[in-house]
Amino acid sequence: MSEEKISIIVDGQKILCKKDDTYLSAITRAGIEIPTLCHMEELKPSGACRICVIEVEGAPNLVAACVTPVRPNAVVTTYNERIHRARQTNIELLLRSHPLNCIVCNKNGVCTLQKLAYQYVPKSRLSKLEGKKPTTDLLEVNEFFVLNYSACIRCQLCVRVADEIQVCNVLSMQDRGFNIYPSAGFGRSFEEAGCVACGNCVEVCPVGALVSKSIKTTKSRSYELKKTVTTCTYCGVGCQLEILVDPKQNKIVNVQSHRDSINGLSLCVKGRYGWNYIHHQDRINTPLIKKNGKFEEASWEEAFDLIEKQFKKIINESGPDSLAFLTSAKCTNEENYLMQKLSRAAIGTNNIDHCARLCHASTVTGLVKSFGSGAMTNSISDLTNDAEVIFIIGSNTTEAHPVIGTKIKQAVKNGKTKLIVADPRKIELSDYAEVYMSQRPGSDVALINAMIKYIIDEGLYDEAFIKQRTEDFEKLKENISKIDFSSLCKIANVEEEEVKKAASLYATAKTAAIIYAMGITQHTTGTDNVLSLANLAMITGNVGKPGTGVNPLRGQNNVQGACDLGGLPDVFPGYQKVTNEENIKKFKEFWGVDKLDNKEGLTVVEIMNEAHKGNIRGIYIMGENPVISDPNVNHVREALEKVEFLVVQDLFITETAKYADVILPGQSFAEKDGTYTNTERRVQRVRKAIETEGSRLPDWKILEIMLNRFGIEKHYNSPSEIMDEIAQVTPIYGGISYERLENRGLQWPCPSSDHPGTPILHKDKFSRGKGKFHAINYLDPDELPDDEYPLILTTGRNLFHFHTGEMTHRVAGIHQRKPIEKSEINVKDAKKLGIKTGDKVIIESRRGKVLTEVKVTDRIKEGVVFMTFHFKDSAANLLTNDALDPLSKIPELKVCAVKVTKK
């Protein structure tokens, strides 16, 4: 950066400024306070409230500090009588249109207008604050918040946050002059205008106009609420929340974003409003033991005794490998560590896995083969700040990772980034895309190979990068030379021109990032898909620098951490192979055990298969719900029926828990301490915000007791001590401690206590040394449509729900928004079948059938049907195919053949 030396004189004192400073930014940085009502650092300044006025020598009028760029050597006064009078008058003007009912307002004590009024308006003026009020017979109410127009001060912060941060195009000011008000326009409700209820507008409202409904339920004043900063428990973005607890009731009453974080101002509807399940009556409060087919309350002692007795019996009769453990992508790192320690050190089996198998097993396998590390290569911020081009394939980002979705929209809107989207559905981001390709589900290798072929044929590849950083390019090139571009496009069912455009856009950008999710991974060719994307990134040199990389978006809040901490059948924590003698030796010594299993254990689907066969006799499931989330659910149900002894640890009696012999009540994220690792490998703190109810124990405590019961005598005073243990045996977490995580967390690898963390992987060299190209050829999905099952079913997510819906369905507002599944079918297919929107249909595959409501749309490709898997009454996974990717063992959730009939 060039050293621009601009200075201004503020109140007689010299202040150094940056070139693009406004008076407000420069002066507040120098520690002088200037009051504002409509300014927010995250937003473009608007200059609406005119409270931040200052005097600049030479300017005829007062100057709004927030919008005026600094002029070198300007002489500025920030406070004098003229300024005071101007501010006072403008504040009085706002008060005259504002109800002066602070005493009953939710914002009392935290209201900016109230604060300014106290500073600037003398009591004697109160009687003068008269006159007509703006129209108040308007009210916007939805499930989550209320807009009370009578309190609105027309600062437009809500409109600007909707426009600039959420990029939702919902809000604008309507009417003019005294009568303006924020509105969705044309008499529509916010929801009708496409509001996704992120509540970001509510967060920025400086007065009591936009208020979350939940806060209205508390009798405590806003300033009395206890604030706890923690990590959101929904998706893998890892947004930082501030949980506000009413100490009088020990209840959460509001959630707001923690602005100094990766998410900044943003949260999504689930993060902000999806927490009421924590206080839901369905929560389990004590251990439950099934007696005569019915669950009965039991003491912890009874429950532990029973588990110990049963597991020991099974181990004695058929060895430790007849037990299996499903750890949890929802639980903390510390809990996952203890769970695998229980399985490996205490029980003696590597039969431990979790639902990462269902989402990113192929990512881990593929990226390890190509790069040497199976995680997202880059950081969220550099994707959205530094990428000239983002190629999104198989990720419905705005629904599944909403905050990353909004950041991508921001980047496109600001003209920084061009988007390429490949998806069988016209997802929201396709509206922002420069190129949109609608490939047939399961044809990704063909599509990516077509792009690679075009790039190689046109000479658009990065020769220097390939030479210095990679190996086996010749193999790729030779393989590609044998394939025909047109036939690849035909397989993928996409226009050749579009593919060419996408390929050249991606290849010629200075920085181009790939973002993908389960649209890529959940295939029998999942690993091939990932390898192909790695090929694409490497031929164009798009690895190892900001704004590039291959970036799998991890689904659950801690799926990254569950993998990192060894919740996988083949690795100890930190991806240390269980088959490696040195590793075994290290862990034996560290854990103080004589023996560790040295063969790879079973994966999720294999565990169910073996249970079905009777080879797995006992399962311990923590915070997972395979009866909804796994493919071919009927098969899973039969397997769980057959298991002799099933332990489920959860918040609710889930569909899976119904099969359990013992249910242990866990704690939600708001009730315990710990850490989660988000999709960008950032380890962040989870902090206890409320006291739990009943006799529930934190999950790490339950696991500690289990470890003790099975011979590992180790006691932890807090999760912090568990993390210290993790750091000692897990090189990528080697430098992580709670103390260091306090602000913004750390991104692994963080090998030592002085290491700053790693925002970008493979910077100078790949984790495996050289990046490796793989020659990949297209293979058909396991099941293709035929005469009997003529359509392809693909599955995905919806913004409002999370995973199997155990949490979100228990949040009244969210459930109200999306109470039932509405499967999508293309207009042309619907016409052939005589189906219209709102009809009930039966979707049937070779494995089962479900009843669902249908939505007819042209946003889905012809021949494809789409369902989410959030609804147990229309469980998509009754239909899905459990055929596995041979390498990563991920099932093909994204493609199966179905038929649709009108009910």
Residues in contact with other proteins by the rule CB under 8 A: 45-51, 53, 61-62, 64, 67-69, 82, 85-86, 89-90, 93-94, 96-97, 128, 131-132, 154, 156, 172-173, 175-180
Tokens of 757: 């963390």
The nearer residue to other proteins, 94 or 865, going by C-beta atoms, is 94
The nearer residue to other proteins, 97 or 230, going by C-beta atoms, is 97
The nearer residue to other proteins, 179 or 487, going by C-beta atoms, is 179
Query: Smallest distance, Å, CB 56 to other proteins?
Result: 12
Contact 726, 746 (CB under 8 A): no
Query: Smallest distance, Å, CB 626 to other proteins?
Result: 51
Q: What phi, psi does 826 have (nearest 5°)?
A: -70, 145
The nearer residue to other proteins, 94 or 627, going by C-beta atoms, is 94
Closest of 56, 100, 51 to residue 75, by C-alpha: 56
The set of residues, in sequence order, having a beta carbon less than 8 Å from that of 648 and lying 6+ positions away, is: 621, 622, 654, 656, 657, 659, 660, 662, 663, 664
Residue 175 is given by DSSP the state S
Structure-token match 């309190």, residue found: 151
DSSP assignments along 815-832, one per residue: HHHS-S-EEEEEHHHHHH
The nearer residue to other proteins, 47 or 731, going by C-beta atoms, is 47
The nearer residue to other proteins, 89 or 598, going by C-beta atoms, is 89
The nearer residue to other proteins, 46 or 142, going by C-beta atoms, is 46
Query: Smallest distance, Å, CB 48 to other proteins?
Result: 5
The nearer residue to other proteins, 90 or 504, going by C-beta atoms, is 90
SS3 labels along 804-816: CCCCHHHCHHHHH
The nearer residue to other proteins, 163 or 246, going by C-beta atoms, is 163
DSSP assignments along 649-678, one per residue: EESS--TTGGG-SEEEE---GGGS-EEEE-
Query: Smallest distance, Å, CB 391 to other proteins?
Result: 21
Query: Smallest distance, Å, CB 388 to other proteins?
Result: 12
Query: Smallest distance, Å, CB 539 to other proteins?
Result: 21
The set of residues, in sequence order, having a beta carbon less than 8 Å from that of 263 and lying 6+ positions away, is: 237, 239, 240, 257, 403
Does the N-terminal peptide bond of residue 749 adopt cis geometry, omega within 30 degrees of 0?
yes
Query: Smallest distance, Å, CB 689 to other proteins?
Result: 38
Closest of 263, 727, 796 to residue 519, by C-alpha: 796
Contact 844, 879 (CB under 8 A): yes
Query: Smallest distance, Å, CB 578 to other proteins?
Result: 51
Tokens of 444: 């990704």
The nearer residue to other proteins, 178 or 590, going by C-beta atoms, is 178
Count of C-beta atoms within a 10 Å radius of residue 282: 12
Query: Smallest distance, Å, CB 399 to other proteins?
Result: 28
The nearer residue to other proteins, 157 or 245, going by C-beta atoms, is 157
**3-class SS at 16?**
strand
Contact 255, 242 (CB under 8 A): yes
**3-class SS at 146?**
strand
Compute the distance between CA of residue 256 and CA of residue 277 in angstroms, rounded to an integer: 17
Dihedral-angle region of residue 110 (phi above 0 means left; psi in -120 to 50 means alpha; beta otherwise): alpha
- The amino acid that residue 450 corresponds to is A
Q: What phi, psi does 517 have (nearest 5°)?
A: -145, -140
The nearer residue to other proteins, 90 or 708, going by C-beta atoms, is 90
Query: Smallest distance, Å, CB 176 to other proteins?
Result: 5
Query: Smallest distance, Å, CB 760 to other proteins?
Result: 24
Closest of 901, 899, 894, 822 to residue 863, by C-alpha: 899
Q: Where are the alpha helices (DSSP H) in 208-299?
A: 269-273
Query: Smallest distance, Å, CB 235 to other proteins?
Result: 33
Q: What phi, psi does 823 have (nearest 5°)?
A: -70, 150
Q: What phi, psi does 276 have (nearest 5°)?
A: -70, -15
The nearer residue to other proteins, 386 or 624, going by C-beta atoms, is 386
Query: Smallest distance, Å, CB 60 to other proteins?
Result: 9
Query: Smallest distance, Å, CB 92 to other proteins?
Result: 9
Q: What phi, psi does 15 have (nearest 5°)?
A: -130, 135
Q: H or E stretch including 408?
A: helix 402-413
- The amino acid that residue 487 corresponds to is S
Q: H or E stretch including 366?
A: helix 361-370
Q: What are 183's strand-pairing partners?
A: 172
Q: Where are the alpha helices (DSSP H) in 432-541?
A: 444-457, 463-469, 473-481, 485-492, 496-508, 518-521, 526-539
- The amino acid that residue 837 corresponds to is T
The nearer residue to other proteins, 415 or 834, going by C-beta atoms, is 415
The nearer residue to other proteins, 142 or 172, going by C-beta atoms, is 172
Compute the distance between CA of residue 673 and CA of residue 646 in angstroms, rounded to an integer: 27
The nearer residue to other proteins, 131 or 459, going by C-beta atoms, is 131
Which string of b and e fits 544-561 if b means at least 16 CB within 10 Å? Answer: bbbbbbbbbbbbbbbbbb
Query: Smallest distance, Å, CB 155 to other proteins?
Result: 9
Query: Smallest distance, Å, CB 171 to other proteins?
Result: 11
